[in-house]
Amino acid sequence: MATQQSGTKGAKSKPMAKKQLQHFEKRLLEERKRVLKELGHHDEASQESDGDLSSYSFHMADQGTDAMEREKAFLFASQEGRFLWHIDQALRRLYRSPETFGKCHSCGEDIDFDRLDALPHARLCIACKQREEDGKKSA
């Protein structure tokens, strides 16, 4: 089965079909909405726990548990915040240059549809992402 990725470098592949672009726009907007909801939920939870002095604990073990829970909430919120940034970047690429959306930022080849469907914010094809990960492991 031939794919658009099997073309030679330098050969121009056709831009993604409008229907596919709309599909990825919908996926990105759904993910963005989900992440914003999650971030809002964690923000509300941290405000509730920070403002409730009656649940302030004087026992050292409870204080440690409370601190750990706040740290986990912060870590989760920061991970979701980075994910939101990647989604926003993908939406910018989609809106500003739809003809290049779905093209690998490293080699310029088409990113496989299944990869984009699973990770609509992906910037790299599988081969380039693997090279990037291998480079991080050896560094």
Q: How confident is the model at residue 71 (pLDDT cuts 50, 70, 90)?
A: confident
Kindly list the domain boundaries of the chain, sorted by start residue: 16-49+60-138
> Which residue stretches of 52-125 are H helix?
60-96, 113-118
pLDDT per position as a tens digit, 2-52: 344 433 344 456 788 999 999 999 999 999 999 888 877 655 555 554 445
Per-residue tokens: 98: 């739809």
Give Cβ neighbours of residue 63 (< 8 Å, ≥ 6 apart).
57
**C-alpha dist (Å) from residue 99 to 8, 16, 20, 82, 96:** 19, 7, 12, 25, 9
Average pLDDT for the chain: 78
Q: Which CATH superfamily is domain 16-49+60-138 in?
A: DksA, coiled-coil domain (1.20.120.910)
Amino acid of residue 20: Q
Name the residue with higher pLDDT: 111 or 75. 111
Q: Mean pLDDT, to the nearest integer, of 43-63?
A: 56
